Chains A and B, each alone.
Chain A
Amino acid sequence: MKKFVYIFIVLFTLSWGCNDANFLDREPTNILIDDQIWGDNSLILSVVADLYDRIPEFQTISNWWNYADFDEGFGSAFGDYWRHKNSDWGYGEWAINWKDYYKLMREVNLFIQKADSELTDDLQTADKARFVAEGRFIRASIYFEMVKRMGGVPLILEPLTYDFGGDPSYLEYPRSKESEIYDFVINELEAIKNDLPNDVNVKGRATKGLVLAMQARAAIYAGSIAKYGATTPNVSLPGGEVGIPASMADGYYTKALSAAEELINSGTYALYNKKENLAENFTNLFLDKSGNTEVIFVKDYKLQSGKVQPFTVQNQPWSSAEDLEGGRLNPSLNLVQSFELLDNTFSTFETNTSEGDYVYYNSPKDIFAGRDARLEGTIIIPGSKFKGKELDIWAGYIDADGNITTGSTYGQRKHFPTEADPEIPVVGYDGPIDELEFSAQTGFYCRKFMDTATGSGQRGLNSEVWWVRYRLSEVYLNAAEAAFELGNTTKAADYLNVVRRRAGFTTDLTAADMSFDRIVHERKVELAFEGHILWDMKRWRLAHIVWNGESVELTNNPEKADEVSNRIFALWPYKYYAPESPNHGKYIFKEVLPRVVTNADRFRLGNYYSEINDETVNNNNLIIKNPNQN
């Protein structure tokens, strides 16, 4: 009997326990499930925000050192001197990490699939369309980033899943043609154009303006690869994975021009013009977050949110640094001398007279007078201010016989001019001092993107200045380039002049002034430190000419696109000490090669498209390697 009671109790417990079918079916507390996310606008926004954040980039303000990879900037920090001692770039440089990029791509494809499915049917139609369009925008951006680095890549437009059937070969995709990837990007952007808001105040998310700007950029890249790729026939693959036929150039240029003009003529955006002082205006265009009509797309930062960037901490002038670091990025003389005079002519800096005497300047700033306002907007020159504080850039005293008295630390004091005299500083607090990190070893500091807010130079605070990915000025330059390549020099000059007037040029360029050199030069000075230089030099097939590895002196023709510029030069001010001379106390300048710069950069043909490593080829035998490498 007792036995039956036990059996009954057990049976009862079991059946009762199973009675509630939902007992084990609990909502997880550590993750959000599909139904929760896809019904809620703000949750979908946070998913897409994460994807925006992960769009790959190369040179940005969160990795200043990449600005020192080419001839624009010098890395004034011990850990970065190798950049100027190296000659070759590795073939794998700038390559995509195959695994990471396609993992991200799968997530984006999943996002698009889900945003487009019945999961989001409860959203308003416009919201749903916007999220799908944003996903497709992010996917197009990533493919654009990939094609810039690798040429054609496998074009995968849906999330791939392995069936564990033992044969993964159905997941192997061959590389598309380079032109097919560019076509995909351009067409995809065309398709989503009208699903996105056309709002100048939306900066961090995709807008119609952004789509047009990116279309113009992608098309101009493809067009120039088609046109200038003809000069480097070795940089191509027979299957078109690398290289675009020259016959396609005009089509892309036409597309670039029409997309850029659609954006310009829409009137949604306007060049930033808030300040009287044009240099200050140019600086502020990157700092001003309220009512900025020029900026189209940014990566935004916010103080005390955890999402801040250290560019100002890392690069603030040493003399006024708010923390124990700064001064890392020193713009090169190569870049500084590219800023032209306001009468539309070019000139290198006048350090010596034709008789060989020095040229004496009352203020160190005088040598830079009469130039493009963007010079002071982009670069902190000797004698200028940052955050209201005067900079102290001078390399020492030089006497009438050419003897130099200088120090080895910031603002070092010595008995000068004789041992009997009291100690005075014999070198600026900002240097320049060879091989002293954080000093302005080229004689210059960077101003673009440098936050002027108090505290932005402290490690504990950092800066919330945003990283500008697209802005209207570049669209004008793209329009000018496309028009020029299509033979419409009048239109090209018109668009170029819009940008140049904002920089203080009062005499317009005429159609006859237009040349390829002009186009290249304008991008160089307008878009310095905005992450364009590598891609521009690659697409024009100028990289192996300008960075050819031969040590030559600094060019005297900064206006020419194909002048060699592969070592970083510096311009150092000295105080002239000769009490009996009328020039006593004035400044003279010397062009020097920083001691750290021991080798000239050399861009090989195999660098045009980064190496696909053997691991990737072994994993997918359909992948063809890029040319001119091993």
Chain B
Amino acid sequence: MKTKFKLIILVVAMAGLFASCDYDNYDEPGSFLEGNIVYNGEAINVSSKDVSFQLWEPGWQKSYPINVEVAQDGSYSSLLFDAQYKLVIPSNQGPWRTKINSESGSDTIYVNLNGNKKLDIEVEPYFMIRNSQFSVSGSNVTATFQAEKIITDAGAKNIERVNFYINKTQFVDFRSSSNVASVEIGGGDITNPASISMTLTVPELVPAQNYVYARVGIKIQGVEDMIFSPVQKVDL
């Protein structure tokens, strides 16, 4: 009798535990917010791990932002709970000026997330890199591109320098531990922004590989984050 009673208690307790587990837990976030940072629909390439924006969800007692990192090709993706968010790009983030959003009357963007959503964020970059091309001759790689000045009003800024980076991996920017070569032109030495050409010699790679990844970037005066061309794989 006593054992039976104990058994009953045990079963009830376990049933309670299992049932309550279900009750206690929240659903995991299930909606993707993804897209690109764009100018006229064209994605803006930046350095990896440097540019991010914030999502705020109003209505809580204390507010903490959700930071969303922008990948080097200008895309972003975040897995979130369905809610009404305010999307803010903090000042001095990215090589661009934010645009005034018609709905909020400021640069805040209201994001009503209900299921997966694609959202391209339109900004105004100071410069765009156009027609970047990489050509190989021997162990030399030549990059040619145009630097197009987008902002030409009072807020216009000049080029501080342009850089051409080559890396063994797909992550190509000034972060240099795996950069194999780079070359730089100062802003004052650029004669024709519509046709910039830079050449690099690829050193011997250890371990050997017959391709590299390349891209060019512009450092704008007074702006911390650089703007880049898309990464391109170059076969040697």
Contacts and interface: CB of A to CB of B under 8 A. Distances in A.
Interface of A: 87, 233-234, 549-551, 598-600, 602, 604-605, 614-615, 618, 627-630
A550 B92 contact: no
B175 A234 contact: no
Interface string B43-66: 000000000101000000011110
A572 B15 CA distance: 70
A605 B224 contact: yes
A618 B56 CA distance: 13
Interface residues of B, number: 20
Q: What is the interface of chain A mostly: helix, strand, loop, or mixed?
A: loop
A551 B181 CA distance: 10
A604 B174 contact: no
Contacts of A600: 176-177
A630 B88 CA distance: 11
A234 B174 contact: no
A87 B175 CA distance: 8
B222 A234 contact: yes
A567 to B, nearest CB: 9
B92 A549 contact: no
18 contacts: A87-B175, A234-B222, A234-B224, A549-B175, A550-B174, A599-B177, A600-B176, A600-B177, A602-B175, A604-B224, A605-B92, A605-B224, A615-B62, A618-B64, A628-B92, A630-B52, A630-B65, A630-B67
B91 interface: yes
B179 interface: yes
Nearest to A629: B90
A232 to B, nearest CB: 8
Contacts of A599: 175-177
- Which of B91, B174, B179, B182 has the most C-beta atoms of chain A within 10 angstroms of its own C-beta? B174
Interface in B21-47: none
B62 A618 contact: yes
A614 B176 contact: no
A550 B177 CA distance: 9
B197 interface: no
A234 B63 CA distance: 25
A618 B176 contact: no
Given A551-B176, A627-B91, A628-B92, A618 B63 contact: yes
Contact of B63 (A233, A551, A604, A614): A614
B78 interface: no
Interface of B: 52, 54, 62-65, 67, 90-93, 174-177, 179, 182, 222-224
A551 B223 CA distance: 21
A25 to B, nearest CB: 45
A630 B93 contact: yes
B156 to A, nearest CB: 15
A604 B120 CA distance: 27
Given A87-B175, A602-B175, A628-B224, 17 more contacts: A233-B222, A234-B92, A234-B222, A234-B223, A234-B224, A549-B174, A600-B177, A604-B224, A605-B224, A614-B64, A614-B65, A615-B62, A618-B63, A627-B91, A628-B92, A630-B65, A630-B67
- Which of B64, B67, B224 has the most C-beta atoms of chain A within 10 angstroms of its own C-beta? B224
A172 to B, nearest CB: 15
Given A87-B175, A549-B176, A627 B92 contact: yes
A373 B224 CA distance: 40
A629 B179 CA distance: 26
10 closest residue pairs by CB, A with B: A551-B176, A618-B62, A614-B64, A628-B92, A605-B224, A599-B177, A630-B90, A234-B92, A550-B174, A598-B177
Contacts of A628: 92, 224
Nearest to A566: B176
A132 B31 CA distance: 61
Contacts of A614: 62-65
A614 B65 CA distance: 8
B78 to A, nearest CB: 14
A604 to B, nearest CB: 7
A306 to B, nearest CB: 42
A598 B63 CA distance: 38
Nearest to B224: A605
Contacts of B177: 87, 551, 598-600
Nearest to B93: A630
Contacts of B52: 630
A268 B91 CA distance: 50
B121 to A, nearest CB: 16
Contacts of A602: 175
Contact of B54 (A598, A605, A630): A630
Contacts of B224: 234, 604-605, 628
Nearest to A548: B174
A602 B230 CA distance: 24
Nearest to B91: A627
Nearest to A605: B224
Nearest to A87: B175
A20 B222 CA distance: 78
Contacts of A604: 224
Contacts of B174: 549-550
A233 B92 CA distance: 11
Nearest to A233: B222
A602 B92 CA distance: 17
Contacts of A618: 62-64
A551 to B, nearest CB: 4
A593 to B, nearest CB: 12
B179 A551 contact: yes
Contacts of B92: 234, 605, 627-628
